[in-house]
């Protein structure tokens, strides 16, 4: 079962458990837990973790409510959704570490380790692009002299991504190549130097020895282990073996794009208490996402992820517009104009599928209609927003509740229906609620709210 299905299953479990109004609260919780456990196990999540989740969730839900019946269905739904959200976050959380923050005008070295075929070389380039887009001068070093063609592969990727690179066709000592590459880029005042090391098909003593030797020479600020998510539960064993031999700080989990075993890999890694900092979601150089348990679970449940969206937004648009939106969100506000600006930026950011999942409702739309159709729909949304007056755009959207005739006018002006206008207002309201709860979370350490 792919992860997107897991999200749907979980939401369905919550909804169907609540739809049976005949049941008492304890039965509702029981039904929910059963469905949830089945869905998680089918997604290959570690059985020990699922069992813990079940017990914790039961305790929270029954503890909170005692045996009493809830006051309203909507309230129960919110309570259950929040408890499920919290428990799922706990499931994948392990002292979550932020991606390494390189220092400007300093040399920062990141070293990659992992087995052959895990996606190491591809991920090196992705990370180089990630930091380059954030304004750093980035260089790539190929210290893989073991595999014939490794340097050519890195070179091709680097050229495509416009990242300077270093490697050798003749030198057979990877430690020497690494040292030369670092020296060259250091001299040229590169700020982030990413070193790709060689892999093996199996965890071998020779590989671990080589990693330690290279590490001693390049003195990395961060060592990242690349792990193929499609190995599922075996991820625990592999990350443990690597951790014992080469001390790495974080994990980059590749091939998370719709793979059945992704849930297994994440929970297995979580069980080893090693932070996952990035996930690879495709073969393209932009298919890299910062991993945070909250964002991951938010997306999984289709409730959007305002924090990741903001990060992307800041990367592509450093304009006054973006600053104004940021300021609004920090104050817990999110106007229709903010919504419009984000839509426009998203259209520029591409690939749409990566971004859409961060907006409530958009991820589902993308799954249902595909990228091209979703893009058309987004354009239509912009037309709707274009038809609004300045006063309307700068409002929090509630202005339309008191004046439905204005909704009719906007629909007419944009060649859409009142229903379509209403849908946009609903999405913007969700974002506004998320902005409010993000602010509350920043002030008091809470959670993003779930749409009701
Ligand atoms: P290395 O041997 O560890 O350096 O692995 P490569 O970087 O050569 O990657 C092996 C294969 O996995 C290549 O075909 C990559 O395109 C593919 N790959 C890497 N990362 C991802 C990912 O996140 N998603 C998918 N679908 N493929 C990936």
Residue pLDDT tens, the chain, 452 long: 455 667 777 777 777 776 766 677 788 888 888 888 888 887 777 788 889 889 988 888 887 654 444 456 667 766 777 777 788 787 776 555 566 788 989 999 999 999 999 999 999 999 999 999 888 999 999 999 888 889 999 999 999 999 999 999 999 999 999 999 999 999 999 999 999 998 877 777 888 888 899 999 999 999 999 999 888 888 888 888 888 877 778 899 999 876 667 777 887 787 777 788 899 988 988 888 888 777 777 766 666 555 666 665 556 555 667 777 778 877 878 888 888 877 777 666 555 555 566 666 666 666 666 667 777 787 888 889 988 998 899 888 888 888 888 999 999 988 889 988 998 888 888 878 877 776 665 565 444 444 43
CB of 117 closer than 6 angstroms to any ligand 1 atom: yes
Non-local (6+) Cβ contacts of 67 within 8 A are 25, 26
Q: Checking phi first, is residue 99 left (phi over 0); if not, alpha (psi -120 to 50) or beta?
A: beta
Distances in Å between the Cα of 443 and the Cα atoms of 93, 332, 439, 447 are 21, 11, 6, 11
Which residue out of 2, 112, 116, 119 has the highest number of ligand 1 atoms within 8 Å of its CB and is therefore the one to mutate? 119
Q: Residue 46 has what pLDDT?
A: 78
Q: Which of 110, 114, 117 is nearest to 239 (CA)?
A: 114
Distance CA 307, CA 434 (A): 10
Answer yes or no: are the C-beta atoms of 446 and 437 closer than 8 Å: yes
CB of 122 closer than 6 angstroms to any ligand 1 atom: yes
Q: Residue 446 has what pLDDT?
A: 42
Longest dimension (CA), the chain: 75
Report CA(116)–ligand 1 centroid distance (Å): 10
pTM of the model: 0.68
Report CA(283)–ligand 1 centroid distance (Å): 6
Domains of the chain and any CATH numbers? 3-92 (1.20.120.140), 108-299 (3.40.50.300), 302-444 (1.10.260.30)
The complex scores an ipTM of: 0.99
What letter does residue 332 receive in the DSSP assignment? T
CB of 262 closer than 6 angstroms to any ligand 1 atom: no
Give yes or no for a cis peptide into 302 (omega within 30° of 0): no
CB of 8 closer than 6 angstroms to any ligand 1 atom: no
Report CA(128)–ligand 1 centroid distance (Å): 15
**Closest ligand 1 atom to the C-alpha of 280?**
23
Q: Residue 448 has what pLDDT?
A: 44
Looking at ligand 1, which residue's alpha carbon is closest to its atom 2?
117
Helices 293-300 and 306-316: crossing angle in degrees, nearest 10, is 110
CB of 258 closer than 6 angstroms to any ligand 1 atom: no
**Closest ligand 1 atom to the C-alpha of 115?**
3
């Amino acid at each position: 079962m792919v992860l997107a299905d897991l999200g749907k299953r979980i939401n369905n479990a919550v909804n169907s458990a609540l739809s049976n109004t005949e049941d008492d609260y304890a039965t509702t919780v029981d039904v929910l837990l059963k469905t949830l456990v089945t869905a998680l196990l089918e997604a290959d999540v570690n059985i020990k973790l699922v069992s813990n989740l079940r017990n914790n969730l039961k305790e929270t839900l029954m503890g909170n409510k005692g045996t009493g019946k809830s006051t309203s269905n909507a309230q129960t739904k919110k309570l259950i959704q929040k408890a499920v959200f919290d428990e799922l976050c706990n499931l994948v959380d392990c002292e979550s570490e932020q991606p390494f923050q390189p220092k400007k005008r300093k040399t920062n070295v990141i070293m990659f380790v992992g087995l052959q075929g895990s996606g190491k070389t591809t991920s090196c380039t992705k990370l180089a692009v990630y930091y380059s887009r954030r304004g750093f001068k980035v260089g790539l070093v190929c210290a893989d002299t073991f595999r014939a063609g490794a340097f050519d592969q890195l070179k091709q990727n680097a050229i495509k991504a416009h990242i300077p690179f270093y490697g050798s066709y003749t030198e057979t000592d990877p430690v020497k190549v690494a040292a030369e590459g670092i020296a060259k880029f250091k001299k040229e005042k590169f700020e982030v130097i990413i070193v790709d090391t060689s892999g093996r098909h199996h965890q071998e003593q020779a590989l671990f020895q080589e990693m330690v030797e290279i590490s001693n020479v390049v003195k990395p600020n961060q060592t990242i282990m690349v792990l193929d998510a499609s190995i599922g539960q075996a991820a625990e064993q592999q990350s443990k073996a690597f951790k014992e031999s080469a001390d790495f700080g974080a994990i980059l989990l590749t091939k998370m794009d719709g793979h059945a075993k992704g849930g297994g890999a994440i929970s297995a890694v979580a069980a080893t208490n090693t932070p996952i900092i990035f996930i690879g979601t495709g073969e393209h150089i932009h298919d890299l996402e910062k991993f945070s348990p909250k964002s991951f679970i938010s997306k999984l449940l289709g409730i959007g992820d305002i924090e990741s969206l903001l990060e992307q937004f800041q990367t592509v648009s450093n304009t006054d517009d973006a600053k104004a939106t940021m300021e609004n969100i920090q104050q817990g506000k999110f106007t229709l104009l903010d919504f419009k600006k984000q839509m426009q930026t998203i259209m520029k950011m591409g690939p749409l599928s990566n971004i859409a999942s961060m907006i409530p409702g958009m991820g589902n739309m993308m799954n249902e209609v595909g990228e091209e159709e979703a893009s058309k729909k987004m354009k239509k949304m912009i037309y709707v927003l274009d038809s609004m007056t300045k006063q309307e755009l700068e409002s929090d959207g509630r202005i339309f509740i008191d004046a439905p005739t204005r909704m009719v006018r906007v629909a007419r002006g944009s060649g859409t229906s009142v229903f379509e206008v209403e849908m946009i207002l609903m999405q913007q309201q969700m974002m506004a609620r998320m902005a409010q709860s993000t602010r509350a979370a920043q002030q008091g350490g809470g959670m993003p709210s779930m749409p009701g």
